[in-house]
Every structure is written in C-alpha cells, then in structure tokens.
Amino acid sequence: MLAAGLLFACAMLAACNPEQSALHPAGQDAAELANLFWFMTAGGALVWCIIMGSAIYAVLGRKRPRSERFADRFVFIGGVAFPTIGLAALLVFGLALLPNWAEADTPDLQVQVVAEQFWWRLGYEAADGSQVATANEIHLPVGATAEFVLTSTDVIHSFWIPSLGGKMDAIPGRTNVLRLTPTKPGVYRGVCAEFCGPSHALMAFPVVVHEADAYAEWLETQRQPATAGNGEAFIAAGCGACHVVRGISEAGSVGPDLTHFASRRTIGAGTMLLTPANLADWLVAPSHIKPGSRMPSFATLPDAERQAIVDFLLELK
C-alpha cells in the first residue's frame, strides 16, 4: 500500500510539466518558495512520523505502569514544548522568506500588465524610452529583476508564473506590483490563477527568458512598426476596429496588439500553438475554441479572403 502510494506520488511528480512547475524553479523567488515547500514538507513528515510512532507504541508497546511524574513530563514535552518550538521554528523560517521590496533596489525593467477577459495586454519600455505594446507573451532578460505593474479592466485575475515565483492579483481600479528575477534562460508558462469567467483556464502565456543581448534584440524588434506588406484583407474585414498593427492600422485597441503577432508562440493567450491551420480555425470559430472570447467569428468570409488574413498575420514577424 505504502509502496503503491509512493510509486503514484513519483509518477505524479514526474508528470509535472517543468515549464509550469513551482518545484522546478527558474527564478529567485521560485527557488525560495520551493525551499520553503520542501522544508515544510520535511518538517510535517517528521512530526507525522513522531506522532504515528507514539500512537503505534501506545497501542502495541509493552504495557507497564508509569509514574505520574513521567506522565506529566511526557505531556509537557510532547504536548507543549515540542509543538511550540517546532511551529515557532517553521514560522520564523517562513517569515524570513517574505520579500522586502521597500528596501530593494529599483528594478531593472518594468512590464505593464493589464489582465482582460481572457488575455494579457502588455507594455514594455524600449531603450529610447518609448512604450511598446504587445500581448500574451512575456519576454525577460535572465538575471534582471522585472517589476510587473498589474491591473485589470473587468474582473479580478491573478498573474502567476510558477517557475519564476509567487502570484499576484490583477484588480480593476487598483495597481499591484510583483517583482520576479529569472535565473535560468528557457521557455516557461504563466497562467491566470483567479477564476475570472468561462475561459479562465484558457488565459495563459508563454514566458521566454533570454540572455541580455537576445532580450534587447527582441525588444528592439517589437518597437519597430510592422514590416508585412499587404494588409488589405485585414482592413477590409474590419479587423482594424479591434486590433492595432502599428504602421498599418492603428485605430482599434479592444483586442491584443498584433504588430508582431507571428513572432509569438501561441494564439488565444496560450490556447493553441500558432500554426497556419490553428489560426484559420481561430478566425472561423473563436468563441467555440475559447468560450467568452470577444473575438467575432469570420466564418462568413469567403475562404480566399480569410486565407489572405491568415497569410498577412503570419507575415507579422
């Protein structure tokens, strides 16, 4: 039974996706949280073993009379001293891990995050000080402290990248701040961690942690206007009413900025991988793929026009 339980636990842990696992830390805060988890788990396991051992001894052990003094001492040590010292030690360990941002240095970069049903509006500051709008995919330089400035336009969401650290709510009318310092380059997965409506579970985002040079290159590319050629079909179908493609159509801002859409890994905020077939499906039935999505269906467009939009979007590198 115990062996089966252990085997099951190992299988569960092995199945955990390291891209989105608080137990595969790739950031300073995540490493501290993982340490806290293992320390608390070990502490809890030790206490459990001592109590179960005592219980088993009480039931199966040799019955012989004990002095009253022994009984008093046993109750005092086991019932008062041990829990007080044990819990105090765990509390002190936990409190020491609380972040102290008031005294921390200024962050290396700031990312504006607006959570919306059901996607992430993102803003970066470019090297020249200009604001760069993007969406649904976060890029960070390794070893730098990023400050996420979080808010929401509709309901409460929560911003969580388990591999990098703890979560923070995005609340309408309020601004919350979360700092994270990635320590390992790689691709991770962030999620919305507060139930926010029918597509709460489809409100994710890839997180790409680069070396500093590659990050600067990415940011510079994002700053540039779109380089794709023909946006005719996109504009004719009215996509520009909701989406900005800088340099081509800059009026609408209801939906995600698509200026460098084809550089992203997913569509629908982590819902599907960005492939030509998935993109075509998305244009036909967005609210079927992602319930509650405000993106209208373009199923009634002639196939050729829809394909022209897909081709245009895939050029937006």
Residues that bind ligand CUA (CB under 6 A): 115, 118, 157, 192, 194-196, 200, 203
Q: Which is nearer to ligand CUA, 240 or 255 (CB)?
A: 255
Query: Cβ closer to ligand CUA: 140 or 192?
Result: 192
309, 233 Cβ separation under 8 angstroms: yes
User: Angle 193-195-201 (CA atoms, 0-180°, nearest 5)?
Assistant: 70
Q: Choose between 200 and 223: whose C-beta lies nearer to ligand CUA.
A: 200
Shorter beta-carbon distance to ligand CUA: residue 116 or 257: 116
Q: How many residues does the chain have?
A: 317
Cβ closer to ligand CUA: 117 or 249?
Answer: 117
Q: Shortest distance, CB of residue 199 to ligand CUA, whole angstroms?
A: 8
In the bound complex, what is the minimum distance in angstroms from residue 4's beta carbon to ligand CUA? Answer: 35
Minimum gap (Å) between residue 118 Cβ and ligand CUA: 6
Least distance (Å) between residue 196 CB and ligand CUA: 3
**Closest separation between CB of residue 294 and ligand CUA, Å?**
14
Closer residue to ligand CUA, CB minimum distance, 140 or 269 = 269
Q: What is the DSSP string of the chain?
A: -HHHHHHHHHHHHHHS-GGG-TTS--BHHHHHHHHHHHHHHHHHHHHHHHHHHHHHHHHHSPP----HHHHHHHHHIIIIIHHHHHHHHHHHHHHHTS--TTTSPPPSEEEEEEEETTEEEEEEE-TTS-EEEEES-EEEETTPPEEEEEEESSS-EEEE-TTT---EEE-BT--EEEEE-B-S-EEEEEEE-S--STTGGG-EEEEEEE-HHHHHHHHHHHHSPP--S--HHHHHTTGGGT--BTTTB-S--SS---TTGGGSSEETTTTEE--HHHHHHHHH-HHHHSTT--PPP-TTS-HHHHHHHHHHHHH--
Q: Which amino acid type is present at position 189? A: R
Q: How far is the CB of 295 from ligand CUA (least distance, A)?
A: 16
Q: Are 284 and 294 in contact (CB under 8 A)?
A: no
Q: Give min distance, CB of 195 to ligand CUA, in A.
A: 6
Residue from 230, 226, 232, 250 nearest 240 by CA: 250
User: CB of residue 58 vs ligand CUA: minimum separation in angstroms?
Assistant: 48
**Of 198 and 229, which has the nearer Cβ to ligand CUA?**
198
Q: For ligand CUA, give the closer residue by CB, 186 or 197.
A: 197
